[in-house]
Amino acid sequence: ELEHQYLPSRWAVRLGAEEALRTYSQIGIEATVRARATWKSLLHVPYGDGDGERVDIYFPNKAAEGLPFFLFFHGGYWQNGSKDQSAFMVDPLAAQGVAVVIVGYDIAPKGTLDQMVDQVTRSVAFVQKRYPSNEGIYLCGHSAGAHLAAMMLLADWTKHGVTPNLKGFFLVSGVFDLEPMVYTSQNVALQLTLEDARRNSPQLKVAQVQPADPACPVLVVVGQFDSPEFHRQSWEFYQVLPGQTLCQGGWKASFEKLRDVDHFEIIEIVTQKDSTLTQIILKTIFQ
């Protein structure tokens, strides 16, 4: 049953599993080709010494001193996908004056989950150091990438010599309690022990975190056609986020079930400026 719950392609309603995966890849590749042809960009910029430690940065046309920066961590269960096919939201965000950073990290089996979390942390620190006059850093992740983004709520920035100007989180169809993954076939490549899974589960840790900026919005979103386990993951994470109920500190947490989309369509739609999720993102950045 866990195997089934954690295979998002099986829950696609409009397309068969294979076709849903193919469409997702195709839309990501096309959006990336379009983004690279349209916007001024810096591609394959290293944020560390490792080969996989690179980001693509896409800039809006108007060169401003302080731009908002939107960082995206792609999904693929920490073992598939790359920055080179994940520039979904570049067009609609750059058109509104947002710099978009698509983050690469070493997927399994090359990278372990601990390494990926460390890499993503360093990519955020890198953007803050390179663009210290940014007007806010917004983190967004899809699926496994939403897990990596959520781990940034727990990051200890003192080790990185910089406090990033974090202004918002968009956690799209994420996995926040990693224990179930240990019992699925995804763990063949990941090789997570129960201890690894728990250490890297924001679900178990986030309640103890003191948020730096209580005004920082954390949006947890899940697709209507995501599996019940994915709905549980998002809802339960939202429930333990500090600030969800109390007024004393915490983040500005919110939960949204996006109508009419599956696990892949939920991120495919941010290629379009009018989609609900694109509008939520833009409203959060420019409120």
Residues ≥6 apart with Cβ < 8 Å to 188: none
Number of residues forming the site for ligand NFK (CB under 6 A): 12
* Contact code string over 12-51 relative to ligand NFK, x by CB under 6 A: ---------x--x---------------------------
Q: Which of 55, 60, 71, 76 binds ligand NFK (CB under 6 A)?
A: 76
Q: To which residue do tokens 């500090």 refer? A: 242
Residue 278: strand, helix, or coil: helix
Among residues 74, 118, 263, 275, which one is catalytic?
263
Residues with Cβ within 8 Å of 131's Cβ and at least 6 positions away in sequence, in order, are: 67, 69, 99
Stretch that binds ligand NFK, among 4-12, 102-110, 236-244, 245-253 (CB under 6 A): 4-12
Q: How far lies 79's CA from each of 82, 111, 252, in Å? A: 9, 9, 31
Q: Which two tokens stand for residue 30?
A: 């096309």
Check residue 9 for interaction with ligand NFK (CB under 6 A).
yes
Question: Using CB under 6 A, which of the segments 6-14, 56-64, 220-228, 242-250 binds ligand NFK?
Answer: 6-14
Crossing angle of the two packed helices 144-151 and 113-130, in degrees rounded to 10: 60
- Interaction pattern, residues 140-179, with ligand NFK; x per rule: CB under 6 A: ---xx-----------------------------------
Which 3-state string (H, E, C) describes 135-156? Answer: CCEEEEEECHHHHHHHHCCCCC
Cβ closest to ligand NFK, residue 111 vs residue 242 = 111
Active-site residues, by number, are 143, 226, 263
Contact residues: ligand NFK, CB under 6 A: 7-9, 21, 24, 75-77, 80-81, 143-144
